[in-house]
Amino acid sequence: MEFLEVIVLVFSFVVLLILGVPIAFSIGVAALLTMLVSIAPDAAFTTMAQRMATSLDSFALLAIPFFILAGQFMNRGGIASRLIDFAKALVGTLPGGLAYVNIIACMLFGAISGSAVAAASAIGGIMSPRMVKEGYSRPFSAAVNITSATTGMIIPPSNILIVYSLASGGVSIAALFVAGYVPGILLGLALMLVAGFISFKQRYPVGDRTSLKEVIKKFFDALPSLFLLFVVIGGIIAGVFTATEASAIAVLYTLILSMVVYRQIKIQNLPEILINTVITTSIVMLLIGTSMGMSWVMSFENIPQGVSEALLSISDNKIIVLIIINLILLFVGIFMDMTPAVLIFTPIFLPVVTALGVDPVHFGIMMVLNLCIGLCTPPVGSVLFVGCGVANISISKVIKPLVPLFIAMVLALLLVTYIPALSLWLPGIFGL
């Protein structure tokens, strides 16, 4: 590990971020500058271009634009309102019921769409005005929406788990998808516990009792949307199709559901939806390309080996090493989006934890859950900005009610970190 190259890499990246350069360009420029220092200039430009191009030449990555398009259809197709109605029928009569409704609806919508931002926008846009109208404080309703939207990054299908599979060198996407269920539900339950306690303490209102007939009706209204989970995940587990093929099926299913069954999307809406999908996909793919370029630079400079030796020199105790990695990732998540963070730090930390006997599937779930917390924190918390935007409230007012929910997320992270069975139990049952 050459210290000059490491200094150039870290210093240039930090300076570019401070100057407000977009994260993808900061990563790419920092990687290129480091290459210029370590290898010949003409080879540096060629290598960077090759790394970016070859990193995107992956069949598994085709799933990302398809799942993004499916999420666009779901966001515009009337699915959110039906999931909210079903969740309200289930838990709306409990103390602080609308907070539970928000969390459950975000879990369901996030799981179907695979996008925390989409969940925060779609569910928050409906639930925030409704919660304020019922007597809940606006900061609390926004905080609940922001934190619960992240559950969709863990509960499959999840684009970030596909990215982790790429960065890890081929960990089974099916195993990662199935492994995300229990930790994702655990995170949702932790948030519900804290939200319920705050609601009880603040004496937030209780909803009207819902009859069994109404619950059944709302369930059948939401069933076509929920059935997508069984189609996608069931097909992958059964070996009927791959995750990439499942993403294409998800697009076809959501298109029919939104245009034919719910009739919320018209033909004239399709160009706008497709353009939004292309924009989002291009951003993600640029992040992947530049991040893989930086990963190559770090491998060329033996940075992962150096970090591994440094961590293991501190301690060879798995508990200590995992807590150090979690602290580093929590800090990284504050300043970096999930996609580049996973692509850059997976090659660094995965060899360390596997040397200590940690399963790569377990580590992937732990890493994604950790970085989900960063989505809710400034200055780069995309879900935080979207959640505050749809709730029409400033970030400063949301911080106080966010703190106890952050604590719940950290406690869920610790449970997932130190109880591997939470992640590995379901994959073991299905033989993945």
Q: In DSSP terms, which residues pair with 95 in a beta bridge?
A: 206
Mean pLDDT of the chain: 84
Residue 361's pLDDT is 95
Residue 147's pLDDT is 92
For residues 151 and 104, give the distance between their C-alpha atoms in angstroms, rounded to a whole number: 10
Mean pLDDT for the stretch of residues 169-185: 90
Residue 414's pLDDT is 95
Work out the pLDDT band at 2, boundaries 50, 70, 90: low
Residue 17's pLDDT is 81
The answer for residues whose C-beta is within 8 angstroms of residue 343's C-beta and 6 or more apart is: 163, 166, 167, 287, 288, 291, 292, 294, 295
Residue 338's pLDDT is 85
For residues 112 and 253, give the distance between their C-alpha atoms in angstroms, rounded to a whole number: 12
Whether the per-residue pLDDT at 1 is higher than 60: the answer is: no
Residue 208's pLDDT is 65
Percent of the chain with pLDDT over 70: 97
Joined together, the tokens standing for residue 386 give 């979207």
Residue 207's pLDDT is 65
Whether the per-residue pLDDT at 126 is higher than 70: the answer is: yes
Are the C-beta atoms of residues 63 and 163 closer than 8 Å to each other? no
For residues 207 and 384, give the distance between their C-alpha atoms in angstroms, rounded to a whole number: 27
**pTM (2 d.p.):** 0.85
Query: In 318-359, where does DSSP find H-type helix?
Result: 318-335, 338-355
Joined together, the tokens standing for residue 340 give 């580049």
Are the C-beta atoms of residues 113 and 227 closer than 8 Å to each other? no
Q: In DSSP terms, which residues pair with 206 in a beta bridge?
A: 95
Residue 413's pLDDT is 95
**Of 45-59, 184-198, 203-217, 408-422, which gets the smallest average pLDDT?**
203-217
Mean pLDDT for the stretch of residues 181-207: 87
Are the C-beta atoms of residues 1 and 305 closer than 8 Å to each other? yes
DSSP labels, 29-60: HHHHHHHHHHS-HHHHHHHHHHHHHHHT--TG
| CB-neighbour burial class of residue 381 (10 A; exposed 0-12, middle 13-18, buried 19+) | buried
Residue 422's pLDDT is 94
Q: Of 6-20, 216-230, 321-335, 352-366, where does the model show the most confidence? A: 352-366
Provide long-range contacts, Cβ within 8 A and 24+ apart, for 32-35. Answer: 32/293, 33/8, 33/9, 34/5, 34/8, 34/9, 34/297, 34/301, 35/297
For 103-140, b where at least 16 C-beta lie within 10 A, e where not — what string?
A: bbbbbbbbbbbbbbbbbbbbbbbbbbeebbeeebbbbb
3-state secondary structure of 403: helix
Of the candidates 150, 158, 219, which has an alpha carbon nearest to the alpha carbon of residue 186?
Answer: 150
Work out the pLDDT band at 58, boundaries 50, 70, 90: confident
Whether the per-residue pLDDT at 381 is higher than 80: the answer is: no
Q: For residue 404, is the peptide bond before it cis, meaning its omega torsion is within 30 degrees of 0?
A: no
3-state secondary structure of 350: helix
Whether the per-residue pLDDT at 376 is higher than 90: the answer is: no
Amino acid at 261: V
Work out the pLDDT band at 228, boundaries 50, 70, 90: confident
Question: Which of 147 and 51 is assigned the larger pLDDT?
Answer: 147
